């Protein structure tokens, strides 16, 4: 009898543990849940005609697919509790804007897909708290403006895809602080030029796609032409073509020499500067930008090390003060 009671007790505990595990990792009714070698714990809620995010998504989910639904991002921390989430697919939804820090709390999120929505603009604060992001896809939206410091939170960001939007102007401050960015896709927008200062803000940048834009090949594109002649060919990026002026229409940007572009430049008095003078100015500005960026990185590291040393010293002094004084 004693052995039978013991086995009954063990069996009952095992069942309870099993049920608790199943309950904790229960899959939403309209979704599929499974494990993948590449993606980890996957919760697939794609193409379910959802208008709200399911409330019972397993906390262990590392890949959440909510694509092809009718979702909007209009509440704060809409994915609260999904602390293990690393990839989030929100493509093909009804997202027009990212309201109220809707993505806040996803501290481990590395890949975010917002492509094929109706997003009009990106604002500072849209991505607050997403420090682990390394790749973001915002292709095929209606973005006309990117506010300053929009991507500042992305200290590990390597890839941004902004192709097939409605951008007609780039502000270098929109991409400030992205020292690790290597890949920038801007194809299929309405850009007429690419400011040279943008290249200075992104010291790790190696790939830029500005193809299928109505580029005006004149003095304003000279700095980018110098940058692309080196980095563009090394990265095999699609070669952009000129849209205007008429003499350069449909010409590859590298088919136009820096001398030809420099001839369109004017100094502050309205007279033309010499070709050699403009090329020299561009090269000096480019090198100066690189040097200033490296100096900024060095200073940040030096300040950080000094703060850490001071904290260590303060901790040591505090420990000494707390030690009791020996009595005679």
- Phi and psi based region of residue 234 (left: phi greater than 0; alpha: psi -120 to 50; beta: remaining): alpha
The whole-number pLDDT of residue 289 equals: 67
> From first to last of its 328 residues, what are the pLDDT tens digits of the chain?
555 555 454 445 443 333 334 334 689 999 999 998 888 999 999 999 999 999 899 999 999 999 999 999 988 889 988 999 999 999 999 999 998 789 988 999 999 999 999 999 999 889 988 889 999 999 999 999 999 889 888 889 999 999 999 999 998 888 888 999 999 999 999 999 998 888 888 999 999 999 999 999 999 999 999 998 888 766 778 889 999 999 999 999 999 988 888 887 864 334 444 445 545 555 666 667 667 777 767 776 776 667 566 656 655 554 555 555 444 4
SS3 137: strand
Name the domain count of the chain: 1
If you compute the radius of gyration of the chain from its CA atoms, what whole number of angstroms results? Answer: 27
Its domain, for residue 212, covers 27-291
The whole-number pLDDT of residue 113 equals: 98
d(CA 51, CA 106): 21
Domain assignment of residue 254, yes or no: yes
The CA-atom distances, in angstroms, between 300 and each of 59, 198, 288, 305 are 37, 21, 18, 9
Looking only at the bridges linking them, the beta strands covering 40-44 and 32-36 are: antiparallel
Domain assignment of residue 40, yes or no: yes
Residue 215 tokens, joined: 């580029």
The whole-number pLDDT of residue 315 equals: 53
The whole-number pLDDT of residue 270 equals: 44
d(CA 107, CA 79): 11
Helices 222-235, 275-322: axis angle to 10 degrees equals: 70
> Tokens 């100015």 identify what position?
281
Of all helices (H) and strands (E), which one includes residue 298? helix 275-322
Judge if pTM exceeds 0.85.
no
The whole-number pLDDT of residue 260 equals: 87
The whole-number pLDDT of residue 233 equals: 63
Q: For residue 212, give the CATH number of its domain.
A: 3.80.10.10
Domain assignment of residue 328, yes or no: no
The whole-number pLDDT of residue 327 equals: 44
Domain assignment of residue 55, yes or no: yes
């Amino acid at each position: 009898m004693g052995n039978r009671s013991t086995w009954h007790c063990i069996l009952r505990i095992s069942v309870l543990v099993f049920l608790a595990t199943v309950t904790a990792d229960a899959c939403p009714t309209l979704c599929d849940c499974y494990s993948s070698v590449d993606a980890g714990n996957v919760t697939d809620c794609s193409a379910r005609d959802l208008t709200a995010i399911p409330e019972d998504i397993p906390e262990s989910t590392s890949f959440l697919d909510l694509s092809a639904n009718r979702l909007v991002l209009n509440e704060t921390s809409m994915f609260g509790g999904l602390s293990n989430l690393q990839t989030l697919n929100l493509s093909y939804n009804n997202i027009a804007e990212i309201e109220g820090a809707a993505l806040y709390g996803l501290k481990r999120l590395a890949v975010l897909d917002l492509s094929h929505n109706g997003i009009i603009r990106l604002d500072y604060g849209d991505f607050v708290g997403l420090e682990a992001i390394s790749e973001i896809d915002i292709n095929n939206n209606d973005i006309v403006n990117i506010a300053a410091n929009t991507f500042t939170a992305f200290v590990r960001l390597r890839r941004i895809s902004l192709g097939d939007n409605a951008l007609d102007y780039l502000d270098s401050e929109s991409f400030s602080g992205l020292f690790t960015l290597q890949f920038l896709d801007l194809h299929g927008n309405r850009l007429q030029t690419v400011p040279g200062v943008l290249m200075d803000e992104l010291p790790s940048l190696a790939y830029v796609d500005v193809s299928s834009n109505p580029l005006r090949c004149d003095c304003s594109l000279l700095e980018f032409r110098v940058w692309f002649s080196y980095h563009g060919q090394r990265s095999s990026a699609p070669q952009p073509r000129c849209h205007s002026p008429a003499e350069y229409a449909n010409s590859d940007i590298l088919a136009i020499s820096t001398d030809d572009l420099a001839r369109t430049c004017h100094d502050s008095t309205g007279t033309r500067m010499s070709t050699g003078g403009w090329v020299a100015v561009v090269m000096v500005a480019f090198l100066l930008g690189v040097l200033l960026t490296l100096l900024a990185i060095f200073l940040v590291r030096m300040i950080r090390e000094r703060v850490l040393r001071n904290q260590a010293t303060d901790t040591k002094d505090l420990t000494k003060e707390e030690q009791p004084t020996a009595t005679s």
